[in-house]
Structure 1
Amino acid sequence: MALAAGRLRHRVDIQARQQTQDPFTGEIIDNWVTIWPSVPAAVEPLSAREFIAAQAVQSEVSARITIRYRDGLDASMRIVHRGKIYNPAGWLSDKESGLEYLSAPVSQGVNQG
């Protein structure tokens, strides 16, 4: 089943944590760096039924974000959409080829950096 382009009507930034060292104090500082800006995505809040089912597994899940397949994504990254921060629980491949799109159940606001 093909992923319709019109479904990916939102734009999200995908960020990864980067550690740098302060040259004066030697302190390790965590920063979030945008590695993929303005990625076309479908940001879908969970319906009441899906939300109730998700609570059995993870009570923080609030939405599902779907993007076209790209290599290198993992659950340690975060997604920024309209100023809100979303944390993927993991990335799930499509059922058919595994290379068309990725979907992630996400929680909101936990990974502020």
Structure 2
Amino acid sequence: MRIGKLRHRVTIQEYVASRDSFGAENPEWIDLKTVWANVSPVSGKEYFASQQLSAEITTKIMMRYRPGITPKMRVIFDDRIFEIISVINLESQNIELNLMCKEEVQGG
């Protein structure tokens, strides 16, 4: 891994659901860790949903290996939210992770 390519600061978040005093679920995303990464778009598509133009962008986020990252988490980068689709431990060497993510953009 070339460390110089990791020029973006991203935050890994985990979904936590707690219950209030009435038993209602209070969903919330909490920050786990902010790390250096390389964020690069891979592909994109546009489609109509609910009479509205939407876009879906597939993005690869490359970062140093960190255990415990799962598709149940998400990544925040520059006020953009990326849903983690898959976590790839490159060559199973525990050196580099490639996160394949999806970003949905509404409007257009």
Q: Could you tell me the TM-score, scaled by structure 1's length?
A: 0.77
Higher strand proportion: 2
Q: Which residue of 2 aligns with 1:4?
A: 2
2:86 maps to 90
Partner of 2:98: 103
Determine which of 13, 16, 26 is the counterpart of 2:14. Answer: 16
Distance in 2 of aligned mates of 1:61 and 1:71: 26
Amino acid in structure 1 at the alignment position of 2:86: G
Structure 2 unaligned regions, length at least 5 = 45-54
Q: Measure the CA separation in 1 of the matches of 2:80 and 2:15.
A: 17
Question: Among the aligned pairs, what percent are the same residue?
Answer: 28
Aligned length: 95
Check conservation: 1:84, 1:109, Cα contact below 8 A: no
- In the alignment, which residue of structure 1 is the partner of 2:52? none
Structure 1 portions without partners, runs of 5+: 53-58
- Deviation sequence 1:53-85 (CA, Å, 0-9, x none): xxxxxx945210011001101001000000000
TM-score (norm 2): 0.80
Greater helix share, 1 or 2? 1
In 1, the alpha carbon distance for the partners of 2:65 and 2:84 equals: 15
Q: Which amino acid aligns with 2:97?
A: L
Q: Which structure 2 residues correspond to residues 54-93 of structure 1 after superposition, within 5 A?
A: 60-93=56-89
Measure the CA separation in 1 of the matches of 2:28 and 2:89. 28
**Displacement of 1:26:** 1.5
